Copies of this chain bind each other. A is one copy, B any other.
Amino acid sequence: MRLQRDRSLLLMIDFQAGLLPVIEGGLQVIEEAAWLANVAEALAVPVWLTEQYPEKLGGTAAGLISELGEHQVWQKHHFSAMEAPEFAQALKAQSVQQVVICGTEAHICVLQSALGLLEAGYSVYWLSEATASRRCEEARFARERACAQGAIAVTADMVAYEWLDRCDTALFKEVHRRLLKPRSSRGVTFF
């Protein structure tokens, strides 16, 4: 039930330049997704991104890309990432069982991808402060629907502390100093 870093992957759905300006909380979702991606990088958790129809909606927001270390980008035309066979196969090839999902819009591409992941047998963790829609109430409906079908709503702090597991390691101390502590007093909205 707890997240384990060697079985996890962080999946960022459609954080695209052409979408974010109309999202309620668009600035925050980028900031919090980037923060967790930094934690993931420190812990060797893979970071994957999708882009919906980038020829029309633009690529991933520059403000997010500039914060990322190693990552992989997938383009898609179906709203659900799992409908793209190359994505589904590549995911299957990873030793991943737990997918932490975030992105926009919560009730379209994130939700459909989450449902596809659940159907394929993955555990899905819905990152509440980095998953949003144009209407924030609609993001809440998306989260509740995903959870009703088996997803687990989490916060970035929950994920980080579960990946870290214990506090008496050099790794914890470094991540705490560089990422956990600076964020601890930051105000956050959970969608």
Report A's interface with B, CB cutoff 8 A.
1-2, 22, 52-53, 56, 77-80, 83, 107-108, 111-112, 115-116, 118-119, 128, 134-135, 137-138, 141-142, 144-145, 147-149, 152-155, 157-158, 161-162, 164-168, 184-185, 187-188, 190
Contact = CB atoms under 8 A, between A and B. Distances in A.
A157 B138 contact: yes
A118 B168 contact: no
A94 to B, nearest CB: 23
A79 B157 contact: no
B167 A2 contact: no
Contact of A157 (B108, B145, B165): B108
Interface centre among A107, A128, A149 (most CB of B within 10 A): A107
A59 B166 CA distance: 18
